[in-house]
């Protein structure tokens, strides 16, 4: 089966730059301008969060910032929308479980 | 058809529910979707705590019992939570005022329990130190308002006509005959104006005046968080804001968790007409006050904000009942920020009026014609 053409291959484009980010300890190659969701998808990763009730897997759904399904922890900060946040060199992305927040101690 | 209800918000839905249960054939018509106006912009407060002894509190207490019954029969998606309210007093003067306020409420049937400063840590572990005391109101509860309206409407079995704006109230020699919409006429000998903040316009279509005004409110929605806030928590000055007639921006944060995780922070009040523009000042004040009550929220991200228009009548009471100026026209609107809570009792009063039955409490304080002389 021959590879179907992509918009980029049709115009002979090449990424301006590539760099590395980490997802749960894995090194992934990102291209300049990609969202974090795009980087994860390109690596074949479709789920990067578990739901607050039931722990079901979630990834990108709407892809345009509306549905909040693709929340993920980026550089330690939970609840980032993977479809909107641009991938930056050296980012550390981790699977988000539940709210992504530990329950704080009382009085804090 | 026995009755046409204008408005598919929570008041229209509850009215449809109780009217249908009394054996009437009901149609509901709305220019938009279910809960597309003020209902969908609310927090789902079912409060007795913020109401002083009087007719509105009686209505709220009747409604509190009805919501408990509804929670047992409606789907769990309405997210009914009997979580209780906690009104926090920042100083001795406000605690003394709260005591007097609560004494009056208790005589009307409200449960109000004073909690000392030492008990607050157990009631709300993340509350900032400082308050000298608080009152716990176990009867305060919460629903997801859009779900509550939709499930009530579905349970009513009413025929529902959405996206149909009423353009005319049809009348004849005997009074009301129905309504006209672009989709055709809906004929019935009774029409209920449950159009919320837009109830004044429906009254105008019928040729009577009802001075419903919009009072804008903003709500902040945080990212989903672990359970931090157990009750509906607000500072004592919220009560005076609710009762105020001022047009200026007022804010006193009401903070509550939701089953889905986000914390809701309401609610500002200001009279600026139907101005939908974003007020950064209103949002800033809400965020500041919420973080003052719960310092842990200072580190929480706000995901979004929404706002709506409470239907405000000059004396802060809703208009509920038949309009003596036009036989067959009834009003069920003007509930200001309490419409979700007061909806079931409103529905019961309207259903009783339609059936000629004895209402469970006197509707006299809510007479729709109490504001002005009939101009004709």
Q: Taking residues B130-142, report their average pLDDT.
A: 95
Least confident of A10-24, A74-88, B70-84: A10-24
| C-alpha B32, offset from chain centre | 19
Stretch (H or E) spanning B252 = strand B250-257
- pLDDT over 60 at A1, yes or no: no
| Helical segments of A12-98, H only | 36-42
**Does residue B303 contact residue B279 with C-beta atoms inside 8 Å?**
no
Q: Do the domain assignments include residue A108?
A: no
Asked whether B176 and B185 are in contact (CB, 8 A), the reply is no
- Evaluate if residue B300 carries a pLDDT over 90: yes
> Which of B129, B261, B303 has the CB atom closest to A52's CB atom?
B261
Domain annotation covers residue A49? yes
At A7, the pLDDT band (50, 70, 90 cuts) reads: confident
Name the percent of chain B lying above pLDDT 70: 97
Are residues B223 and A79, on separate chains, in Cβ contact within 8 Å? yes
- The ipTM of this complex is 0.73
- Cβ-Cβ contacts under 8 Å between A and B: the total is 36
Q: Which residue of B has its CA nearest to A78?
A: B223
* Over residues B62-66, mean pLDDT: 98
| Confidence (pLDDT) at A107 | 59
Who's near B104: CB < 8 A, 6+ residues apart?
A: B52, B53
In a domain, A7, yes or no: no
pLDDT at position B237: 80
Between B198 and B245, whose confidence is greater? B198
What is the domain-level CATH number for residue A92?
Answer: 3.10.20.440
Q: Please give the C-alpha separations between residue B318 and each of A98, B10, B33, in angstroms, as whole numbers.
A: 42, 14, 23
Asked whether residue B85 carries a pLDDT value surpassing 60, the answer given is: yes
Contacts of B96 (CB under 8 A, 6+ apart): none
pLDDT score, position B373: 60
Residues of B in contact with A97 (CB under 8 A): none
Is A83 part of any domain? yes
Average pLDDT over residues B214-226: 94
Q: Give the chain A residue whose CA is nearest to the CA of B297.
A: A108
Q: How far is CA B54 from CA A89, B50, B199, B347, B365, in A?
A: 63, 12, 24, 19, 10
Residue B242 pLDDT more than 90? no
Label residue B376 by pLDDT band (50, 70, 90).
Answer: very low
Q: Is residue A103 part of a domain?
A: no
Is A51's Cβ below 8 Å from some Cβ in B? no
**E strand or H helix at B209, and its extent?**
none
Question: pLDDT confidence of B47, banded at 50, 70, 90?
Answer: very high
Residues of B in contact with A101 (CB under 8 A): 225-226
Give a yes or no: residue A35 inside a domain.
yes
Q: What local confidence, expressed as pLDDT, does residue B72 receive?
A: 97
Number of structural domains in chain A: 1
Residue of chain A whose alpha carbon sits nearest to that of B301: A79
Q: What's the gap in Å between the CA of B36 and the closest CA on chain A?
A: 19
Residue A62 domain flag: yes
Selected residue of B77, B120, B129, B224 to mutate for chain A interface (largest A Cβ count, 10 A) = B224
Which whole number is the average pLDDT over B337-356? 97
> Is B125's CB within 8 Å of A107's CB?
yes
Is the pLDDT reported for residue A71 higher than 70?
A: yes
Residue A40 C-alpha, separation from nearest chain B C-alpha, in angstroms:
23
Q: Exposed, middle or buried, B79 (CB in 10 Å: 0-12/13-18/19+)?
A: middle
Interface test with B, best of A54, A101, A102, A105 (most B CBs within 10 A): A101
Q: Is the pLDDT of residue B170 over 90?
A: yes
Q: What is the reported pLDDT for B375?
A: 47
Q: What is the pLDDT of residue B246?
A: 74
Within a domain: residue A10?
Answer: no
pLDDT at residue A8, as a whole number: 83
> Residue A58's CB: how many other CB atoms inside 10 A?
18
Best of B296, B297, B298 to substitute, by most chain A Cβ atoms within 10 angstroms, is: B296
Model confidence band, residue B148 (pLDDT cutoffs 50, 70, 90): very high
**Cβ–Cβ of A101/B296 closer than 8 Å?**
no
Mean pLDDT of chain B: 94
Strands (E), chain A: 18-23, 26-31, 49-50, 57-58, 71-74, 77-81, 92-94, 96-97
pLDDT at residue A9 greater than cutoff 90: no
Shortest distance between the Cα of B279 and any Cα of chain A, in A, equals: 22
pLDDT of residue A2: 60
Give the pairing of strands A92-94 and A18-23: parallel
- Shortest Cα distance from B146 to chain A (angstroms)? 18
Which range marks the domain in which residue A80 is found?
A: 17-97
Q: Which of residues 211-250 of B touch A (CB under 8 A)?
A: 223-228
Partner residue facing B126 (CB), from A78, A99, A104 = A104
Q: Measuring CA to CA, which residue among B336, B331, B335, B337 is closest to residue B349?
A: B331
- Average pLDDT on B17-45 reads 97
Token pair in block for residue B369: 């014609």
């Amino acid at each position: 089966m021959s590879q179907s053409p992509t918009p980029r291959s049709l115009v002979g484009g090449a990424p301006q730059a590539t760099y590395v980010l980490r997802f749960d300890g894995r090194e992934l190659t990102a291209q300049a301008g990609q969202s974090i969701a795009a980087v994860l998808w390109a690596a074949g990763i479709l789920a990067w969060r578990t739901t607050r009730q039931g722990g079901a897997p979630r990834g990108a759904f709407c892809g345009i910032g509306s549905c909040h399904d693709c929340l993920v922890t980026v550089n330690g900060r939970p609840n980032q929308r993977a479809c909107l946040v641009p991938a930056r060199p050296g980012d550390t992305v981790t699977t988000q479980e539940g709210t992504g927040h530990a329950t704080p101690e009382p009085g804090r | 058809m026995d009755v046409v209800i204008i408005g598919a918000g929570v008041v229209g839905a509850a009215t449809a529910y109780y009217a249908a249960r009394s054996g009437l054939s009901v149609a509901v018509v709305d220019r938009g979707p279910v809960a597309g106006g003020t209902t969908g912009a609310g927090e789902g407060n079912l409060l007795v705590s913020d109401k002083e002894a009087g007719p509105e509190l009686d209505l709220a207490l009747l409604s509190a019992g009805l919501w408990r019954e509804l929670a047992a029969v409606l789907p769990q998606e309405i997210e009914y939570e009997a979580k209780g309210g906690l009104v926090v007093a920042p100083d001795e003067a406000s605690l003394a005022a709260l005591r007097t306020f609560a004494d009056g409420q208790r005589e009307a049937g409200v449960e109000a329990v004073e909690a000392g400063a030492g008990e607050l840590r157990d009631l709300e572990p993340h509350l900032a130190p400082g308050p000298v005391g608080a009152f716990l109101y176990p009867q305060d509860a919460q629903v997801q308002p859009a779900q509550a309206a939709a499930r009530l409407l579905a349970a009513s079995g009413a025929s529902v006509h959405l996206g149909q704006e009423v353009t005319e109230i049809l009348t004849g020699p005997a009074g009301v005959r129905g309504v006209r919409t672009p989709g055709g006429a809906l004929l019935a000998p009774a029409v209920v104006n449950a159009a919320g903040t837009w109830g004044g316009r429906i009254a105008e279509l019928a040729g009577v005046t009802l001075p419903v005004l919009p009072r804008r409110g903003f709500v902040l929605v945080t990212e989903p968080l672990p359970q931090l806030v157990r009750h509906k928590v607000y500072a004592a000055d919220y009560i005076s804001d609710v009762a105020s007639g001022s047009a200026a921006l007022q804010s006193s944060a009401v903070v509550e968790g939701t089953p889905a995780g986000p914390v809701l922070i309401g609610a500002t009040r200001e009279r600026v007409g139907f101005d939908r523009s974003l007020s950064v000042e209103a949002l800033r004040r809400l965020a500041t006050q919420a973080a003052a009550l719960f310092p842990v929220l200072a580190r929480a991200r706000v995901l979004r904000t929404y706002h709506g228009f409470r239907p405000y009548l000059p004396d802060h009471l809703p208009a509920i009942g038949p309009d003596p100026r036009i036989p067959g026209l009834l009003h069920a609107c003007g509930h200001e920020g309490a419409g979700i809570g007061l909806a079931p009792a409103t529905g019961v009063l309207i259903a009783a009026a339609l059936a000629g039955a004895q209402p469970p409490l006197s509707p006299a304080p809510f007479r729709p014609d109490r504001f002005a002389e009939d101009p004709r």
